[in-house]
Amino acid sequence: MELDDVRDDLTDVLISKEQIAGKIGELARRIERDYDDQRPLLVGVLKGAVMVMADLARELRIHIDMDWMAVSSYGAGTKSSGVVRILKDLDTDLTGRHVLIVEDIIDSGLTLSWLLQNLERRGAASVRICALLRKPDAAKVDVHVEYLGFDIPNEFVVGYGLDYAERYRNLKGVAVLAPHVYE
């Protein structure tokens, strides 16, 4: 779906599909150079990372493996509680593997901070992060991102995997959700 198809639900358009494609290409070139014949394991975090993973993986001209995790925060009902529960774990043994976590967004940073530690304890040779978006002004913890797409303002965004109540994930670009949609 195009951003224009739901233009009334959006305020600022932040990133177009062309900008996303260009950036994913740039990130892919860097990842190819860095990993070369190491056959990294790309770990996508469901569900938001599905679009980034699908496009990044196809852009890479090296051999990779792909696996998926589903995690959920709980406690006080907020997703940024920092307490993370694994809903679906990896099928892959990480011993000696070069792991690249693929995410759509770093907001508070709590999800990735937890995930990074969790995967590092499994004996991987390396664990790095690739994230399309980051909100620097929302950070509650510092997370080192090796491959970053865009820094964006601290506003609620949708599209390209990012949802509001499970909607808008299939938008081709990223935009700020208009307050009238959730108020």
Ligand X SMILES: O=P(O)(O)OC[C@H]1O[C@H](OP(=O)(O)OP(=O)(O)O)[C@H](O)[C@@H]1O
Binding site for Mg ion (CB under 5 A): 45, 48
122 near ligand X, rule: CB under 6 A: no
Nearer to ligand X, 110 or 124 (CB): 110
- Cα separation, 124 vs 93, in Å, equals 9
> Cβ distance 92 to 65 under 8 Å?
yes
CB 63 to ligand HPA: min, Å? 31
Binding site for ligand HPA (CB under 6 A): 105, 107, 156-158, 162-163
Q: CB of residue 128 vs ligand HPA: minimum separation in angstroms?
A: 20
* Three-class SS of 44-72: EEECCCHHHHHHHHHHCCCCCEEEEEEEE
Catalytic residue from among 107, 137, 142, 151: 107
> Nearest CA to 144 among 125, 130, 165?
130
The secondary structure element, H or E, covering residue 134 is strand 126-134
Active site annotation includes 107: yes
Contact residue for ligand X among 105, 124, 129, 175 (CB under 6 A): 105
Is 108 an interacting residue with respect to ligand X (CB under 6 A)? Answer: yes
Q: Which of 58, 63, 79, 121 is close enough to bind ligand X by CB under 6 A?
A: 79
Which parts of the chain fold into alpha helices (H)?
17-35, 50-59, 110-120, 179-182
Site size toward ligand X (CB under 6 A) is: 16
Q: Which residues, 142 to 171, sit near ligand X by CB under 6 A? A: 163
Contact partner, 55, from Mg ion, ligand HPA, ligand X, none, Cβ < 5-8 Å per class: none
Query: Cα separation of 47 and 69, whole Å?
Result: 9
Q: How far is the CB of 95 from ligand HPA (least distance, A)?
A: 31
b/e per residue 2-33 (b: at least 16 CB within 10 A): ebeebeebbeeebbeeeebeebbeebbeebee
* 107 lies in the binding site for ligand X (CB under 6 A): yes
Active site residues: 107
Binding residues for ligand X (CB under 6 A) = 45-48, 79-80, 103-111, 163
